[in-house]
Amino acid sequence: MKNTKRLVTLSLILVLITTSIVFGAARKEITAICTDIKIMINGHDFIPRNVNGDAVMPISYEGTTYLPVRAIANALDMEVSWDQETRTVILNDKVAEDGFYLTELMQPYESYGFEIPANSVEIGGKEYKNSFSTSSDARFELASHYNTFTGTIYVPKKGNFDEAVNIKIKDISTINDKLLYTRTLEPGVFINFEINVKDIDKIKIGVDGDYRGRLVIFGSPKLK
User: 163-206, pLDDT tens digit by residue?
Assistant: 888 999 999 999 999 999 999 998 888 999 999 999 999 999 98
Domain ranges of the chain: 6-93, 100-223
Q: Supply the pTM of this predicted model.
A: 0.58
% the chain with pLDDT above 70? 81
Strands (E), 84-201: 88-93, 100-101, 110-115, 121-123, 126-128, 132-141, 148-154, 165-171, 178-185, 190-196
Q: Do the beta carbons of residue 197 and residue 180 sit within 8 Å?
A: yes
Rounded average pLDDT over 205-214? 72
List of residues 6+ apart from 116 with CB closer than 8 A? 103, 131, 132, 133
What value, to the nearest 5°, has the Cα angle with vertex 191 and ends 146 and 204?
45
Q: Do the beta carbons of residue 185 and residue 203 sit within 8 Å?
A: no
pLDDT on residue 2: 41
**DSSP assignment, residue 200?**
-
Count of Cβ atoms closer than 10 Å to residue 24 Cβ: 8
Q: Among 54-63, 125-134, 167-176, 207-216, which range has the highest average pLDDT? A: 167-176
pLDDT on residue 161: 62
Burial pattern 31-49, b for ≥16 Cβ within 10 A else e, equals ebbbbeeeeeeeeeeeebe
Please state the CATH superfamily assignment of the domain spanning residues 100-223 in this structure.
NPCBM/NEW2 domain (2.60.120.1060)
List of residues 6+ apart from 69 with CB closer than 8 A? 80, 89, 91
62 has a pLDDT exceeding 70: yes
- Mean pLDDT, rounded, of the chain: 79
pLDDT on residue 219: 92
Among 137, 101, 118, 160, which Cα is nearest to 216's? Answer: 137
| Torsion on CA atoms 154, 156, 160, 164, rounded to nearest 10 | 0
14 has a pLDDT exceeding 60: no
The alpha-helical segments, DSSP class H, found in 44-188 are: 69-75, 102-105
pLDDT on residue 3: 41
Higher pLDDT, 24 or 129: 129
